[in-house]
Amino acid sequence: MATDTDHTFDIVVIGLGPGGEYLAGTLAERGLRVLAVDRNLVGGECPYWGCIPSKMMIRAADSLAEARRVEGLAGSVGEVRPDWSVVAKRIREEATDSWNDQVAVDRLTKKGATVLHGTGRITGPGEVDVDGTTYAATKGVVVNPGTTPSVPPIEGLRETPYWTNHEIIEADELPDSLVVLGGGAIGCELSQVMARFGVEVTVVEAADRILSLEEPEASEKLVAALEADGITVRTGVGAEKVSHDGSSFTITLADGSTLEAERLLVATGRRADPAAVGLDAVGVPSDARTAPVDDRCRVTDGVWAVGDITGKGAFTHVSMYQAGIVVRDVLGDDGPPAEYAALPRVTFTDPEVGAVGMTEAQAREKLANVEVGVTPLGETTRGWIAKADGFIKVVADADRGILVGATAMGPAGGEVLGALAVAVHGQVPVDRLRSMIYAYPTLHRGIETALAQLD
């Protein structure tokens, strides 16, 4: 907590998600007087209720699935008995320090920043209120307040003890059954974890497919994978009513059918609120859903925004990328402006879905001449050996002769994605990509055969 009585700083950072924490520390190390404010834990969602604990859960669930694959490949391992307490302990002790941010506070303080736990709000140019105390920011204010779970207006839902990502990640014990509202990346990842630990899971997605922002082929294959894990996937039907009788939930769907479950997880997206952090005081419309930023992440003179609130991609890597741009802008250093054409994203299901840039449908909407190539993983030697399901798809702008998007779905799809992200970001000519040597027998050799299908 701040003991500083000086209320004037060069930079005030409101919200310390991954980007805010990084830039507060970096600017302090560069000698600026930085006030870093968070109303909860320094580091934000990612280390405490997001990426890191969820990936720990996924690693554990994948190890169970891998053990079960011994049969058919290598013999038998006897009975595989899941024990959630091992995962819960690891999340508590190794990932989150029992949801305590003292280590992060100390790290930031050591870099020279003044850290304050409290709720910050811009009240005017260069002026911030933190729980009733006014601070001046002579160089400017950076907001990194993230998002909160978006809870849909379903009759009865708000009166029930539904779970969000916070409760499921903090869970010491798992329920017998779970309904997951929302078939996006978070809903799919957590559903698969739960199912692999023996929970009876139903996913309800109002859109006509899960992972609706990615390629349809990925949605189709992921449904098959989730079903193989025993998950029931209901698409094209939303929930209309939710009730809780003290021990279990009843969810009534739009088609009149009902689902019963011990727990209900709401994973229907995230909501940003720019006005809550005071961006309306510097000209952002009070009903704006995201903070409008230019290619230096400036909202207006002396105000920057980074992370989920910018609407450029709700990922830790976007938050960190934008933080780097803000650091340079504040310090007056040169550097490339923000660009998002090669935005990578990974859904860490098994199989993993790694994607970069545009999907085929997005490309066809924007470009006159689009070509695609698809390699089923089973047609690569390594995919066949591994009995791996998935595909590699490349989307090319035929007029420019470059890739504008790609998907790698399969084991380590997010790693195979690396090569495709370089191609899209670097705008490497397709002919040049075709002329390179692809190691044998790798999954990424599927890129070569997908490229061969382009004219």
Ligand X SMILES: Cc1cc2nc3c(=O)[nH]c(=O)nc-3n(C[C@H](O)[C@H](O)[C@H](O)COP(=O)(O)OP(=O)(O)OC[C@H]3O[C@@H](n4cnc5c(N)ncnc54)[C@H](O)[C@@H]3O)c2cc1C
Q: Which is nearer to ligand X, 205 or 360 (CB)?
A: 205
316 belongs to the binding site for ligand X (CB under 6 A): yes
145 belongs to the binding site for ligand X (CB under 6 A): yes
Do 249 and 264 meet the contact criterion of CB atoms below 8 Å apart? Answer: yes
x/- string (CB under 6 A) for ligand X, residues 291-310? ----------------xxx-
**Range 182-241, binding ligand X (CB under 6 A):** 186
**Range 257-286, binding ligand X (CB under 6 A):** 277
- Compute the Cα dihedral for 439, 444, 449, 450 and give only its sign: negative
C-alpha closest to that of 347 among 241, 246, 214, 449: 214
The size of the interface with ligand X (CB under 6 A), counted in residues, is: 37
Q: Which is nearer to ligand X, 316 or 375 (CB)?
A: 316
Q: Which is nearer to ligand X, 330 or 451 (CB)?
A: 330
Tell me the two tokens of residue 401.
Answer: 């002769």
Q: Which is nearer to ligand X, 123 or 232 (CB)?
A: 123
Helical pair 413-426 and 445-452, crossing angle rounded to 10 deg: 50
Question: Which run of H or E residues covers position 181?
Answer: strand 177-181
**Least distance in Å: CB of 310 to ligand X?**
8
CA gap 128, 176 in Å, rounded: 47
**Least distance in Å: CB of 116 to ligand X?**
9
CA gap 237, 253 in Å, rounded: 7
Stretch binding ligand X (CB under 6 A), from 15-23, 361-369, 389-397, 418-426 = 15-23
328 belongs to the binding site for ligand X (CB under 6 A): no
x/- string (CB under 6 A) for ligand X, residues 40-59? xx--xxx---xx--xx----
C-alpha closest to that of 189 among 88, 333, 54, 355: 54
**Least distance in Å: CB of 57 to ligand X?**
9
238 CB burial (10 A radius; 0-12, 13-18, 19+): middle
Tell me the two tokens of residue 3.
Answer: 């003991």
CA gap 167, 151 in Å, rounded: 14
Question: Site for ligand X (CB under 6 A): which residue of 202, 319, 349, 407?
Answer: 319
x/- string (CB under 6 A) for ligand X, residues 151-170? --------------x-----
DSSP assigned state of 163: B
Q: Which is nearer to ligand X, 215 or 308 (CB)?
A: 308
442 belongs to the binding site for ligand X (CB under 6 A): no
Question: Site for ligand X (CB under 6 A): which residue of 30, 39, 139, 296?
Answer: 39
Q: Residue with structure tokens 């925004």?
A: 305
State the maximum Cα–Cα separation within the chain, in Å, rounded to a whole number.
68
Q: Which is nearer to ligand X, 346 or 404 (CB)?
A: 346
- Bond prior to 274 in cis (omega within 30° of 0): no
Q: Which is nearer to ligand X, 190 or 372 (CB)?
A: 190
**Least distance in Å: CB of 268 to ligand X?**
12
Do 408 and 380 meet the contact criterion of CB atoms below 8 Å apart? Answer: no
CA gap 218, 116 in Å, rounded: 44
Q: What is the binding site for ligand X (CB under 6 A)?
A: 14-19, 37-41, 44-46, 50-51, 54-55, 119-121, 144-147, 165, 186, 277, 307-309, 314-317, 319, 348
